[in-house]
Structure 1
Amino acid sequence: MPLAIIPRILKKNTPQLPEVNFSDDGPVRHLHLGSEWIQGSMYLDAPNALVHEYIQRMMAWLLFVPPESVKDRQALQLGLGAGSLTKFCHKELRMKTTAIELNPQVLVACRGWFKLPAENTRMQVVLADAAEEIQNPKWFGTVDALQVDLYDHEAAAPVLDSLPFYNHCRRLLTPEGCMTVNLFGRASSFARSVEKMSAAFGKEAIWAFKPTREGNTVVLAQHTPSRPKRELLMARAELIETKWGLPASKWVRVFKPMLS
């Protein structure tokens, strides 16, 4: 199917943003930002499911909290993408959920093409620059699950990947909170990114997955470092699989602390 294109929606004095479009590939719909790079995907017959392995791994913070407490926690996504994490946290986990997105066209696309629900008392999308919005004191200490997936239309490296940025991210988290970050791109450096996260969170707070086949590496940083026993992680993984259908037992096998 040829790419479908959404009209440009730009506020006065807004920097030029990439064109938002989508393509259908059999049962899957992909979001694009004016290029062939996939910025997110949705199963047409299961719009709340998580399509990509790396997106599923962005939920690994679930291993660090009691499953019965999840519905009382707050999730924050930096970058809306195709709305996958926002929909899952809101609809499946029943969490209070907020996404911060720079491009208003992405929000329109998510509502029109990717089944993102209208805003309500438990879900909202803030149109803002994430680098600026996360410095708003109203977010400090409120976020249990911070999910960072910030890429532009070229997908060459994370848009925000500095020590000050990760310092701001840590300030958002509750004591039990976790940040998960998708690292991908030809210009990105896993070692440099992890070094910055380690400086902000402490080396003992950093966990990492092995890369997916597509080359995405998900890194997790805890606000308060812990070393749950493998037995506890596996028990929680089984509950996560039963309750939400995520492959959490596999996570435990390919996920480890950077300092072990």
Structure 2
Amino acid sequence: MTLLKRKSIEAEASRRPARGARAQRRMAQGDGPDAEPREDKPARRGAQGDEKRMTPRFAPVTFSEMDGVRYLHFGTEWVQGAMRLRKPDAIELEYAQQMMAWLLFLSPSAPDFHVAQLGLGAAALTKFNHRQFSRARVTAVELNPAVIVAGRSMFGLREDDTRLRVLEQDAWDYVMDAAHTGSVDALQVDLYDATARGPVLDTTAFYRACRRVLKAPGVMTINLFGDHDSFPKNIVRICDAFDNRVLVFPEVHDGNVIALAFNGPVIDVSWEVLEARAKVVETTTRLPARDWVAKLRAANARQEERLRI
């Protein structure tokens, strides 16, 4: 079976024109004739304003293995996470590695550092953060109890301890809880259902709530859908919520695009400083951080000489 990597949105910083003719058409036309129809889903009214959010539907949690890699699925070919059996604590997929790009801007050794993951998947990011950063608190929020069971039985996720909490909870409720305001340094958002055709939570109210849970400084990384009509909507909403302070990686895995959104003081730094930071990240984590810097520099217009965001 040929596995299809889950796709995500292509984001653009500061609402810059989308890269590629297909993305430009969608930015211009929204739900135009070339947009893929999206299956209607029940919606619940958001806690703020009159925006609606989709109610996720649980699907069977299934697995496959190929070439030494175990994959998580929700009853379809779409990949919801992966783990290399010989390296269970490593992050296997490139887009998931890019979800760690907040390391270019934040130090997980800071006192009371807190990483929160919305959408557990195969627990790759949760496991990595818990193992790699011995001083950090790690929280994972997952609505589907079967995914939590799969993480622990099939993907090596440990039981909760003093630094690790896995919550069976709706991500919407987590970010809307006033008790979590300003409590998270790095927020990693990867929320998809069985169809994997766009984020389950994607309203402006949701993205504003994500910003509220961040400390200052704080960074959100989010897996978005690059080949779908949800693209322009999410771009506008994330930019609105984060005052256009958004960077984007080039597309990987036939559609996955990781965006970074920033809270707190303005960042004004040379790319050479970021490259030096990336070398430290590579040494300590073995993640391809220098490649992140090169791709962010190339992919974001008006940021070629110096990063100002």
Aligned to 2:45: none
Aligned to 1:219: 259
1:29 and 2:70 matched: yes
Q: 1:152 to 1:174 in 2, by over 3 A?
A: same
CA drift of 1:237 comes to 0.3
- Amino acid corresponding to residue 55 of structure 1 in structure 2: A
Report the 3-state secondary structure (helix = DSSP H, G, I; strand = E; otherwise coil) of the residue aligned with 1:157. Answer: coil
Deviations 1:120-174 (A, max 9, x none): 0100111011112211122110101100000000101111111100000000000
- Amino acid corresponding to residue 212 of structure 1 in structure 2: V
**Unpaired runs of at least 5, structure 2:** 2-55, 304-309
Equivalent of 1:144 in 185, 188, 196: 185
**Unpaired runs of at least 5, structure 1:** 2-14
Q: Residues 153-232 of structure 1: matches in 2 within 5 Å? A: 153-184=194-225, 186-203=227-244, 205-224=245-264, 225-232=266-273
Aligned partners of 2:226 and 2:251 also within 8 Å: no
Q: Residues 1-260 of structure 1: matches in 2 within 5 Å? A: 17-66=58-107, 68-69=109-110, 72-94=112-134, 95-184=136-225, 186-203=227-244, 205-224=245-264, 225-256=266-297, 257=300, 260=303
Report the 3-state secondary structure (helix = DSSP H, G, I; strand = E; otherwise coil) of the residue aligned with 1:23. Answer: strand
Structure 2 Cα separation of the partners of residues 97 and 171 of structure 1: 18
Deviations 1:38-59 (A, max 9, x none): 1000011111100111000000
Structure 2 Cα separation of the partners of residues 36 and 189 of structure 1: 21
> Which structure 1 residue ranges, 4+ long, deviate > 4 Å from structure 2?
256-259
Structure 1 Cα separation of the partners of residues 285 and 112 of structure 2: 16
CA RMSD of aligned residues (A): 1.9
Structure 1 Cα separation of the partners of residues 151 and 60 of structure 2: 14
Aligned partners of 1:40 and 1:81 also within 8 Å: yes
Deviations 1:99-118 (A, max 9, x none): 11010000000100000000
Aligned partners of 2:58 and 2:194 also within 8 Å: no
Structure showing greater relative contact order (alpha-carbon pairs closer than 8 Å, 6 or more residues apart): 2
Aligned to 1:5: none
Structure 2 Cα separation of the partners of residues 98 and 155 of structure 1: 23
Deviations 1:61-91 (A, max 9, x none): 100124643x741000110000011001111
Larger-gyration structure (1/2)? 2
Deviations 1:201-235 (A, max 9, x none): 111x1111111142110000000231321111001
Report the 3-state secondary structure (helix = DSSP H, G, I; strand = E; otherwise coil) of the residue aligned with 2:268. Answer: coil
How many residues align? The count is 246
Report the 3-state secondary structure (helix = DSSP H, G, I; strand = E; otherwise coil) of the residue aligned with 2:269. Answer: coil
Aligned partners of 1:67 and 1:240 also within 8 Å: no
Structure 2 Cα separation of the partners of residues 99 and 16 of structure 1: 19
Percentage of identical aligned residues: 44
Aligned partners of 1:54 and 1:218 also within 8 Å: yes
* Superposition TM-score, scaled by structure 2 size: 0.76
Structure 1 Cα separation of the partners of residues 207 and 293 of structure 2: 25
